C-alpha cells in the first residue's frame, strides 16, 4: 500500500532549490580550500630544499606558479583555464621535463665515475687512497644511521670529544647518539659490513676509516690534490695526474686515467661516438636493422593474421562464431609480462614444451636466428588478437552495398577483397598500424622478458642478437659493465628521431590515401 503526498506535504518533503544550491556551493568551496591548502603545503615543503641548495631560479618559479594557481582558482574568471591548467602541468612534469632532461644529459659524460662535481671527485680520490700509518689516531666507534644514511659516531680517546662524521666531514655531536640517529648493534652492523668498510669520513689530511665495528683510525691520503698544478700526485711514487676538463678526469702523461672523474659537458661527442667508434657503430647499425625488422614483422604479421581471422569469422556460414571470437581474444586478455615468461620457459632447450612436443632438441634462445624467430612468434601470438578486434570493427563498418556491387560486376571474393575491403581497411587502420609500429620499435618487455637481448657475441656483451635499441640503451645505462647515462641519453634521442620521422612520413601518406578514398 502506498501513500501519496499532496499539497503542503509535498512541499515539505522536497528540498528547496535554494538549499540544494547552497549545500553544493559549500561543498565545492570546501573541496577547493582543501586542494589549495595541499598545494600551498606542498610548495612550502619544496621551497626549503630549493632555498637550502641555493636554487633561486627554481624557488622563484615555484613561488610564481603557486601564486598563479591560487589566483586562478580563487578568481571567478578564466573558466577554460581552470580545466586546462592541471593537464598542462602534468604534461610538463611527466612528458616535457623528462624529455628536456634526457636531451641535456645526452651532451654530458654523466655516468659511473662522472656523477658529481670536480671537488667531489678530488675528495673521493683522496679518500680512496687513505692508508694507515704509524701513530695514526685511533677512535672508539659506533655505527649510526638515520633512515638509509650511514655515519660514524667517534670518541676521541684523549679529549673525550664525541663527533659524528659523514661524507661531508666531521662535526661535533650534540648527543651520544645525536637526536634522530640510531646506533646499530653488532648484528645490524654486520649486515652492512661492506658498506661500513668502504665508508670514509674526509679530514684535512686524509680520512677516518673503520677498523672493525668498534674502532676507527685517521689515515693519511697517499694521493693529494695540488691546487697550483690542478693535479693529483701520488706521494709514494711521485706520479702525477693532471686535470682534463674536456673529459672530466685526471690523466697522467702515459694516458692512464683515474677512475673517479666529474661531470662535464662533452658537446656532440656522445652522438659522434655512434658513428666514429667502429665497435659501437657496427653494434648500433646491426641493432637498428633488427629493430626495424622486428617492428615491421611484428606489426605486419599480427595485422595479417588478425585480419584473416576477422574475415573468416565475418562469414555467416561459419557456426559458433561467438565461441571462436572468445577463444581468439584470450591471448589479449592475459597479462603480457606473464605470458612472455611462460613462452621463455616453453622455448627452453632441455625441458621446454615446444621441444618435448615436437621431439626435437633446438636451442631456440641460444642462436641468433632461432632467437629472433622465437621473439617474432611470441609477438605474433600476443599481438594478433588486438588486430583481430580492430579489423572486425572496421569490416563491420564497410557498407554491404559496396561488396554487393562487386558481385554484380562479376568480381570474385578475392577481387572484392582486394578492390574494396582492403583499401577501406587500410584507410581505417593505418593510424593504428603506425602506432603499433612505434610501440613494437620500443617493445622493451617483449625482448627483455624473453631473451634479455641475447644471445651475445663473445666480443661484445652490450649488444645481443635480439636487442632492440631500447634494450641496448637500457643496458648502457644500467648494465653490469657500468652506467653510461650520457651515451644512453644520446641513443634515446636517436630513437626519438627515428620514430618521429617514420611516423611523420606514414601519417602524410595516410592523409593522401584518405583523400583518394574519401
Domains and CATH numbers, the chain: 18-105 (1.20.58), 130-224 (2.40.430), 276-517 (1.10.3720.10)
Tell me the per-residue pLDDT of 355-367, one tens digit each, with 9 for 90 and over. 999 999 999 999 9
Given a cut of 70, is residue 2 above it in pLDDT?
A: no
Helices (H), 334-468: 336-346, 353-358, 368-397, 400-408, 413-416, 422-441, 444-448
373 falls in which pLDDT band (50, 70, 90)? very high
Query: What letter does residue 211 receive in the DSSP assignment?
Result: S
Per-residue b or e along 253-285, where b marks 16 or more CB atoms closer than 10 Å to that residue's CB: eeeeebebbbbbebeebbbebbeeeeebeebbe
* Rounded CA separation 18/230 (Å): 78
Tell me the per-residue pLDDT of 160-195, one tens digit each, with 9 for 90 and over. 889 999 888 889 888 888 888 999 998 888 889 889
The string of DSSP letters for 453-501 reads T----TT-TT--TT--HHHHHHHHHHSTT---HHHHHHHHHHHHHHHHH
pLDDT for 1: 44
Tell me the per-residue pLDDT of 35-80, one tens digit each, with 9 for 90 and over. 999 999 999 999 999 998 888 998 999 999 999 999 998 888 888 9
Report the predicted TM-score, pTM, of the whole model to 2 decimal places. 0.81
* Rounded CA separation 505/511 (Å): 10
Asked if residues 110 and 483 have their Cβ atoms less than 8 Å apart, the reply is no
Given a cut of 50, is residue 10 above it in pLDDT?
A: no
Q: Which H/E stretch holds residue 242?
A: strand 240-244
Query: What letter does residue 12 receive in the DSSP assignment?
Result: H
pLDDT for 479: 80
pLDDT for 366: 94
pLDDT for 518: 56
The residue that leads in pLDDT, 459 or 488, is 488
The residue that leads in pLDDT, 481 or 93, is 93
Mean pLDDT in residue range 427-452? 93
Amino acid at each position: 500500500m502506498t501513500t501519496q503526498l499532496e499539497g503542503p506535504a509535498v512541499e515539505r518533503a522536497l528540498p528547496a532549490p535554494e538549499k540544494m544550491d547552497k549545500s553544493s556551493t559549500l561543498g565545492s568551496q570546501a573541496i577547493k580550500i582543501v586542494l589549495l591548502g595541499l598545494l600551498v603545503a606542498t610548495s612550502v615543503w619544496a621551497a626549503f630544499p630549493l632555498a637550502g641548495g641555493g636554487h633561486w631560479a627554481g624557488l622563484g618559479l615555484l613561488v610564481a606558479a603557486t601564486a598563479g594557481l591560487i589566483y586562478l582558482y580563487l578568481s571567478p574568471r578564466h573558466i577554460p583555464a581552470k580545466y586546462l591548467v592541471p593537464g598542462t602541468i602534468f604534461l610538463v612534469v611527466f612528458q616535457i621535463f623528462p624529455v628536456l632532461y634526457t636531451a641535456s644529459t645526452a651532451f654530458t659524460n654523466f655516468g659511473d665515475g662522472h656523477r658529481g662535481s670536480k671537488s667531489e671527485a678530488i675528495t673521493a680520490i683522496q679518500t680512496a687512497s687513505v692508508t694507515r700509518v704509524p701513530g695514526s689516531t685511533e677512535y672508539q666507534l659506533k655505527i649510526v644511521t638515520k633512515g638509509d644514511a650511514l655515519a660514524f659516531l667517534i670518541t676521541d680517546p684523549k679529549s673525550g670529544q664525541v663527533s659524528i662524521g659523514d661524507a661531508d666531514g666531521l662535526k661535533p655531536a650534540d648527543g651520544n647518539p645525536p637526536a634522530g640517529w640510531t646506533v646499530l648493534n653488532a648484528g645490524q652492523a654486520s649486515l652492512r659490513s661492506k658498506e661500513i668498510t668502504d665508508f670514509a669520513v674526509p679530514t684535512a689530511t686524509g680520512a677516518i676509516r673503520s677498523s672493525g665495528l668498534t674502532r676507527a683510525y685517521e689515515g693519511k691520503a697517499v694521493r693529494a690534490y695540488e691546487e697550483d698544478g690542478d693535479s693529483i700526485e701520488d706521494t709514494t711514487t711521485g706520479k702525477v695526474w693532471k686535470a682534463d676538463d674536456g673529459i672530466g678526469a685526471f690523466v697522467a702523461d702515459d694516458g692512464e686515467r683515474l677512475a673517479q672523474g666529474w661531470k662535464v659537458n662533452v658537446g656532440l661527442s656522445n652522438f659522434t661516438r655512434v658513428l666514429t667508434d667502429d665497435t659501437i657503430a657496427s653494434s648500433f647499425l646491426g641493432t637498428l636493422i633488427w629493430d626495424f625488422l622486428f617492428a615491421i614483422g611484428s606489426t605486419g604479421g599480427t595485422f595479417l593474421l588478425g585480419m584473416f581471422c576477422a574475415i573468416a569469422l565475418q562469414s555467416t556460414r561459419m557456426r559458433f562464431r561467438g565461441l571462436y571470437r572468445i577463444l581468439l581474444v584470450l591471448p589479449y586478455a592475459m597479462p603480457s609480462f606473464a605470458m612472455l615468461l611462460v613462452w621463455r620457459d616453453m622455448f627452453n632447450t632441455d625441458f621446454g614444451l615446444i621441444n618435448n612436443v615436437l621431439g626435437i632438441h633446438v636451442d631456440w634462445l641460444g642462436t641468433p636466428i632461432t632467437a629472433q624467430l622465437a621473439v617474432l612468434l611470441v609477438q605474433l601470438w600476443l599481438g594478433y588478437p588486438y588486430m583481430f578486434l580492430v579489423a572486425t570493427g572496421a569490416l563491420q563498418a564497410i557498407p554491404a552495398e559496396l561488396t554487393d556491387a562487386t558481385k554484380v560486376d562479376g568480381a570474385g571474393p578475392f577481387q572484392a577483397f582486394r578492390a574494396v575491403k582492403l583499401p577501406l581497411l587500410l584507410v581505417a587502420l593505418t593510424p593504428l598500424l603506425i602506432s603499433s609500429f612505434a610501440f613494437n620499435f620500443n617493445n622493451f618487455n617483449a625482448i627483455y622478458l624473453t631473451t634479455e637481448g641475447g644471445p651475445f657475441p663473445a666480443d661484445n656483451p652490450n649488444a645481443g642478437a635480439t636487442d632492440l635499441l631500447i634494450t641496448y640503451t637500457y643496458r648502457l645505462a644500467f648494465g653490469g659493465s657500468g652506467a653510461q647515462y650520457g651515451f644512453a641519453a644520446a641513443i634515446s634521442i636517436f630513437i626519438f628521431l627515428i620514430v618521429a620521422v617514420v611516423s611523420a612520413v606514414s601519417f602524410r601518406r595516410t592523409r593522401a590515401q584518405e583523400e583518394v578514398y574519401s
